[in-house]
Structure 1
Amino acid sequence: MTITQLQYVLAVAEHKNFTLAAEKCFVTQPTLSMQIQKIEEELSIQIFDRTKKPIQLTDIGQKIVNQAKNIVIEADRIKDIVEQQKGFIGGEFRLGIIPTIMPTLLPMFLNNFIKKYPKVKLIIEELNTDEIIVKLKNGHLDAAIASTPLMEEKLKEIVLYFEPFVAYIPENHTIAHKGDIEVSDLNIEEILLLQDGHCFRDGILNLCKSNGISTGNSFQLESGSFETLIKLADEGLGTTLLPYLHTLDLNEKDKKKLHHFVEPKPAREVSLIFPKTELKIQIIDALRTTIAGVVKGAIVFQNVQIVSPLNKK
């Protein structure tokens, strides 16, 4: 039994298809099938029920897969130990970032990181929070940047910064004359929201709920980007909330429509998330240090109220 064979088993268990698993492992389907058959013969059991479509794990196969995940992780840890001992920071690193953070944070740190750690090959994916959690647990991501806390038992979170919510109020709105506003000034019926699946959307709804504002299903419109929400607000279709870093790139005319909240300002907690196995921890630490260095000057808020990103029914 080899590590490679176990990796093939894990691939079939995930994709439930021998051909697709072989493609993902960059081997031919007969090679993959033969290696899995060797394990089954060695153990005198069937890992997969091939009579079902898609292919399913047998009861003993599920137990083997659970153990195989641990073995593959521990094998990767040996490589990690050697690289840390050598002080090597390099290799492939898969990073997921949620859509409401990617456009503002990535340009702030990516160039600095690449210059400082040229041996690291960053593979970056824009994913929603649910996708990130699944990929981290399945070993398809090394780390991610998302809004927290997520309360996931197998994942570790290191806070990078706190980012306040900022209200975007068009000039002709009834509260446009106010300076700093309170959450109670908001009317959920006219708040323009991101589409379902965005944790920033859930954060806004949770903010309203925690302040006694009925959220129901009465909001007018949802969109996939902050730019669209801003344009819709300017057309008189409502108001919206933006993450603080996003407001830094607005033109001067639009910045005049921004209203900060009174303290403690509602804010989201942005963290670096990774499995508790802490594989590739030297690269994770390098990322954390780099990001902390660039956001220190941009995010200066301390007196904040953290709003949960979890979708509360």
Structure 2
Amino acid sequence: MKAAYVKAPFEFEVRDRKLREPGETEIVVDIKACGLCGHDLILSRYAADRMQQFGHEVSGVVSKVGRLVTNVKTGDKVVLESGTFDRFSANSRNGRVDLDNKGPNFWIKGDDNMGFAERMIAPCECAVPFDGLDFEETSIVEPLGVALDLFKTADIKIMNDVLVIGLGPIGLMAAKIAKESGARKVYAAELSACKARIGIAKKWGIDEIILSDQQKIEDYPFEKDGVDRVLVTAPPATIPAALSVCRMGGIVAFLGIDYSPAGMVTIDSTLVHSNTLQLRASNASPALYFPECLDIIKSGMVSTKDLITHRFRLDEIGTAVKAFDEDKEHGVKAILVNE
């Protein structure tokens, strides 16, 4: 089989390698599509001098199962949770599976085994079967699960006004779910250069777009002098602005990550206290809500196909990832297609 490796910043190599046999509770998945995630771009941009496989937004077909596997069978179409919860942990047994990310995932064996390849091995617990959808649209179930986790974390109510900061795939999908779930008005903030993202937001019925490089979010004339909920999918540096536009009792839910010193932000605790605001983190680890996400796609609430702007083959990865990263105007979502 062939698998792609990143070996240095935006330097990739496709290698032939032998896949080991699956363990008793593992499966082999023939990968049909794999999405390129923001974390994959970070890895590609800052890769150390070593070979590393990557890609975790996987949709494919089960081609082999271990002796004890019962939840899926050969020939099943599946999407893969990047990692699930440990059903024996105290958090899980206390009903908080969302707080346990120590369960099976496809990194635990320590061998090269990721989604930008022809095949991979995964724990059977991570496999969610589906039908009636194609591999391209289901390769985006993993980030859709992240968007749904952010939406649930924000606890959006009917007739709330909502602001989404950052219109990458996760922000776009969270905005669409908020709009379809009863929000009165959904605002979104994005850089003016990201024309394709803004175009999808308008197509999906987002009410107003704030061009954040041309106008400060804090200065925007919101219809009700602020919003009830803010969903942050942008860097953490935007959190203070998100809090500043919240109305009384507002909630800011965020998932933006920055591992550099820029991840440290200062907030006005008096503002938070006086306006009874809440700042909530959405981690989406373990990966959850995949069956619900599949239903969301089937219902037409979110058309994940609308997000796909770039497709590439495995042997094209060397140029495709860099080209996508540089295409700020047109790029929304890139996926590997093995079919």
Q: Same fold (TM over 0.5)?
A: no
Bigger proportion of residues as strand: 2
TM-score, length of structure 1 as denominator length: 0.29
Bigger proportion of residues as helix: 1
| Higher Rg of the two aligned structures | 1
